[in-house]
Amino acid sequence: TQEKLALTIANRAKHAGSFRLGAVAAEAEELLDDLRQHPDASRVSSAGSYRRRKEIVRDLDFIVATKAPEEVTEFFVRHALVESVIARGATKTSVRLHSGISADLRVVSTAEYPFALGYFTGSKEHNIVLRNRALQRGWTLNEYRLSPVETETKKKKPLREIPRVRDETELYRALDLDFIPPELRENSGEIEAAAEGRLPRLLEPENLRGTFHCHTTASDGRNSLEEMAAAAQDLGLQYLGIADHSRSSIQAGGMDLARLRTQVAAIRKLNETFDDFRLFAGVECDILRDGSLDFDDETLGELDYVVASVHSAFQLPEAEMTKRIIRAISNPQVTFLAHPTGRLLLSREAYALDVPAIIEAAAETGTWIEINAAPRRLDLDWRWWPLAKEKGVRCVINPDAHGVEKLQELWFGVGVARKGWLTRDDVMNCLPLGKIESALAQKRAR
Ligand SMILES: [Zn+2]
Ligand SMILES: [Zn+2]
């Protein structure tokens, strides 16, 4: 434990000033809502890495268009979430919130708003390309406006007249680009795609019809089947998959065969009481050290679906870990691979794994890959999804909820999917009840 403590302290130092998106989202959304209510604020948005839904953010940024910057600034610094004021100026004010994260407010005019919003949303790399596109047209682009390029002697005549820009869509249009959603602004191909009119129509939160991979008191969850089902219905979901831990996950209260069968029976019985809602009976089945599964095929075949997860032997060499997971997902009983890399943001590195090989195997076997939406995981990372999509791998977004209030963390998974360029067609749990059943059966049929 001495060693563990030292590691914890080292980790904390390494990650000082970094926050998980999920740790600051509630504060960010509350501030946004309250700024939007302010009578002097005509337009309000977040900006920065929070708006781009990066998994780790270092500060929060807010942009407000207003004719009364003093009043809006005063409202901001007096907000209940603000712990202290770091600096207060005419256009920029920095505060520290109770969570410890700093938040910058920028107050601008309505005319400046789209430019400030674009500039402070970033990323830097994305903005550099935008500025170059402006230069090619004889303009300079900054956080306030588009203006003609000036030379030392006289104003050079702009190559093209500067169009009117009232919002971000018109800003991109001025540069001959389709509007680029903030999540894609990482300079990883989005500008080329926007120039050619081939940006995908990204997944929206309301496209999700249900979700899988949730826990109940049958293993390490805090709520009953009934409570989880009610919470899912409250969120407007049509179905919820229950996947409690299997017997090898002793520390998580994993179920033995008898308890698994009791739970399946309880789910089947509960389903008789629903009209337009369904629980699916699954299990989060441990992938054992050699890649075999914690229950035999016959047992797994009694379930509606099977989640395969690594919860042990994290230190295997990369080749062995890769082989282990490929063996597991090659079992036709397995529906999807959960939290594929095992990372815990800001606390535990991913285990050594050949992710492209896993993606290849998932494509070959028709196994879905999870976006685990729990904000400490957000695994598989958004950076891998364009490759997975190209290979034809299907995605499933799950909260891995251990309590009713955690079901809403699906929202973070949607952010990851959008950053990964995914559409509703790429995400299995966009399928409605009536279609999802055959999709579940399909993997087994392969
Ligand atoms: Zn798990
Ligand atoms: Zn789980």
- Of the listed ligands, the closest to the CA of 379 is 1
288 C-alpha vs ligand 1 centroid, how far in Å?
13
- The series of mean pLDDT values per 10 residues for the chain, 446 residues long, is 65 77 96 98 98 97 98 98 97 96 98 98 98 95 93 62 95 98 98 98 98 97 98 98 96 95 98 97 98 97 98 97 98 98 96 98 98 98 98 98 97 98 98 96 86
155 C-alpha vs ligand 2 centroid, how far in Å?
62
Same domain, 139 and 264: no
101 C-alpha vs ligand 2 centroid, how far in Å?
29
- The reported pLDDT for the residue numbered 234 is 97
- The reported pLDDT for the residue numbered 13 is 60
CATH number, position 259: 3.20.20.140
Same domain, 132 and 82: no
Same domain, 175 and 71: no
Same domain, 92 and 146: no
- The reported pLDDT for the residue numbered 253 is 93
359 C-alpha vs ligand 2 centroid, how far in Å?
21
313 C-alpha vs ligand 1 centroid, how far in Å?
13
- The reported pLDDT for the residue numbered 61 is 98
423 C-alpha vs ligand 2 centroid, how far in Å?
24
400 C-alpha vs ligand 2 centroid, how far in Å?
5
Range of the domain at 59: 2-108
Whether 16 is covered by a domain: the verdict is yes
374 C-alpha vs ligand 2 centroid, how far in Å?
10
- The reported pLDDT for the residue numbered 11 is 62
Q: How many domains does the chain have?
A: 3
- Of the listed ligands, the closest to the CA of 340 is 1
Same domain, 138 and 275: no
Same domain, 187 and 222: no
- Of the listed ligands, the closest to the CA of 406 is 2
Same domain, 334 and 227: yes
Last residue of a domain, one of 42, 73, 108: 108
Q: What is the 3-state secondary structure (H, E, C) of the chain?
A: CHHHHHHHHHHHHHCCCCEEHHHHHHHHHHHHHHHHHCCCEEEEEEEHHHHCCCCEECEEEEEEEECCHHHHHHHHHCCCCEEEEEEECCCEEEEEECCCCEEEEEEECCCCHHHHHHHHHCCHHHHHHHHHHHHHCCEEECCCCEEECECCCCECCCCCCCCCCCCHHHHHHHCCCCCCCHHHCCCCCHHHHHHCCCCCCCCCHHHCCEEEEECCCCCCCCCCHHHHHHHHHHCCCCEEEEEEEECCCHHHCCECHHHHHHHHHHHHHHHCCCCCCEEEEEEEEEECCCCCECCCHHHHHCCCCCEEECCCCCCCCHHHHHHHHHHHHCCCCCCEECCCCCCECCCECCCCCCHHHHHHHHHHHCCEEEEECCCCCCECCHHHHHHHHHHCCCEEEECCECCHHHHHHHHHHHHHHHHCCCCHHHEHHHCCCCCHHHHHHHHHHC
17 C-alpha vs ligand 1 centroid, how far in Å?
28
380 C-alpha vs ligand 1 centroid, how far in Å?
13
229 C-alpha vs ligand 2 centroid, how far in Å?
17
Same domain, 21 and 40: yes
337 C-alpha vs ligand 1 centroid, how far in Å?
10
- Of the listed ligands, the closest to the CA of 312 is 1
- Of the listed ligands, the closest to the CA of 214 is 2
Same domain, 281 and 427: yes
Same domain, 241 and 301: yes
Same domain, 170 and 279: no
Same domain, 241 and 125: no
Whether 64 is covered by a domain: the verdict is yes
